[in-house]
Structure 1
């Protein structure tokens, strides 16, 4: 992959930047800006070189129809404040056009015609074979953004040469999507810890380093006190912690305890013992942001499904497109 640092950007160069702008919006107000904040170094670099970034991406799942509440116009005040009015252009939600999710050739050509250079700065969407991730790269010189590069470098550190013991914590509710990464880390990690719902759905043999919740149940809304203490004891031995997925139904205050306790313990280990902690996924970010500790981990990956797929397969469709 070619890095943005090497892109031939000069005065007036139009740069199509596929951005991760899928942020929560309520009553036309952005609730949490973490993904947007991580775009700024790439966008500012392009502007400093004299280029004009065309910010492109999606918000939500509009399924090919216009939905006012998912319009990118709600992001304009943020970008005006952060990079300056009239220093960029922003395209409407790409998923308002059904061709975006079909990796459509004609749509790829339409998007490519708007710019001179393409930059992928959306790691979180790069497990999708969509037009703005894959198809467009056939028609423009293509580069990887700074944040995307950092995502790969950090996750490679966890998979190829982590400081051990390596403890992996997996939450969420869908075992099927997590299974490839669980299987991989059972081979690599010292311990893999599963929340209650994933534990209840685990039907294979239980290897020695796989730790299930004590209150395993498909109806569980959180891990119990006994599991919290068990998980804390295990992660206290860690030098590297990888965490994907909240441990309970964090949206409700009564079910955020497990996530809160393990998050606070991980932060404590990070700050006091120098443990390298990596967390990722939209729900994980939302949960720890709710707790007010998002910036206290070593690294927060913007990818959920993309992070899990990259950890399992060491590549993504978006990466392959940039390499071809």
Structure 2
């Protein structure tokens, strides 16, 4: 994978930088600017090398040009972080030539962006002398600004993209042992590729979240009204059948409620059978303590997916316990973006892990061994 050093002298050159600024935005207010801050090292390094920046990013999934998805608030926040004016170009025909930092309006306003359109990529390329992809969170998509343009200009990975790829591939290629994978979330089918990858790599796989219930269903347990993905039962059976003895650990107790609501009465179940009328919403204290013990002794830890409905305070304890254990662990700790990253931030622990990925889907696909188009094209 080509890096910034492969681009040579950038003095006075315009560099088209694909960044991942797909941040939570409500009524023009940014809810979390972590992805913007994660891009700063690359942007500052390019500026140090004398480059003028043309930034490209997407926000949400707009249907055509919809100013509810405008990048104006992101440009304003980046102006504060970079301490220099960031000019927002309304469209590709209104890009200033001399401004030090220009941001294109949401690239998904362009109809050919998600189709990896070559003509659109040519328009992008005509505006710059070189291309840098630092948008790891979008690297698993073959879009015009992540893939097609890289074939038209001298191209390289930014510092963030480089670190993401090297870290995530490294924990599978040469991890310190024991390697512990913590896999949670809602659906087994979303994580089956990750589970299968870790069956051949990890010493222990800890399961949590709603995806535990297809495993329990496969074992003949009652799941009550819990979220239990029917399509996940067969893959769960396969994982259990292929696992080494003791390799896959499931919860031993559950915290349940009558509804997905913070005000619902809380019921602690010593066991994993959930009565009718109740839904499992968190792992129980025995599970949390057992998982924390495994995490503490790990040499390498990968975590993706919460242990329960951590956004509801009565059902946040399991995820909090895992997050604290990961933060305290002495081994290498890699958190694979998405809800796990949100949980770390909620508990104030985001700075206490070795690597916090900015890409949920991209990190999972890389762990699964899939080729990321936005990375492959930089090879």
TM-score (norm 1): 0.93
What's the offset of the Cα at 1:77? 2.0
For the pair shown, the structure with the greater C-alpha radius of gyration is 2
Aligned to 2:304: 244
Aligned to 1:305: 361
Please give the alpha-carbon distance, in whole angstroms, between the structure 1 residues aligned to 2:249 and 2:68: 42
Aligned residues: 318
Q: Which runs of 5+ in 2 are unaligned?
A: 86-98, 216-235, 255-271
Provide, for residues 51-102 of structure 1, a one-character-per-residue CA deviation record: whole Å limited to 9, x for no partner.
Answer: 111111111222x323333211111222212221153000111112232111
What's the offset of the Cα at 1:314? 5.6
What's the offset of the Cα at 1:296? 0.7
Q: What SS does the corresponding residue of 1:54 show, helix, strand or coil?
A: strand
Q: What SS does the corresponding residue of 2:15 show, helix, strand or coil?
A: strand
What's the offset of the Cα at 1:212? 1.7
Q: What SS does the corresponding residue of 2:237 show, helix, strand or coil?
A: coil
The worse-fitting range, judged by mean Cα deviation, of 119-128 and 231-240 is 231-240
Higher helix share: 1
TM-score (norm 2): 0.80
Q: What SS does the corresponding residue of 1:17 show, helix, strand or coil?
A: strand
CA RMSD of aligned residues (A): 1.8
Please give the alpha-carbon distance, in whole angstroms, between the structure 1 residues aligned to 2:151 and 2:209: 44
Please give the alpha-carbon distance, in whole angstroms, between the structure 2 residues aligned to 1:13 and 1:247: 47
**2:152 pairs with 1:139:** yes
Q: For residues 1-324 of structure 1, what are the structure 2 equivalents within 5 Å? A: 1-62=1-62, 64-83=63-82, 84-85=84-85, 86-202=99-215, 203-205=236-238, 206=240, 207=243, 208=245, 209-214=247-252, 215=254, 219-269=279-329, 274-313=330-369, 315-323=371-379
The worse-fitting range, judged by mean Cα deviation, of 204-213 and 114-123 is 204-213
Q: Which runs of 5+ in 1 are unaligned?
A: none
Q: What SS does the corresponding residue of 1:220 show, helix, strand or coil?
A: strand
What's the offset of the Cα at 1:49? 1.7
Please give the alpha-carbon distance, in whole angstroms, between the structure 2 residues aligned to 1:106 and 1:222: 49
What's the offset of the Cα at 1:219? 4.4
The worse-fitting range, judged by mean Cα deviation, of 13-22 and 191-200 is 191-200
Residues 127 and 305, structure 1, Cα contact 8 Å, conserved in 2: yes
Q: What SS does the corresponding residue of 2:22 show, helix, strand or coil?
A: coil
Residues 196 and 213, structure 1, Cα contact 8 Å, conserved in 2: no
What's the offset of the Cα at 1:313? 0.9
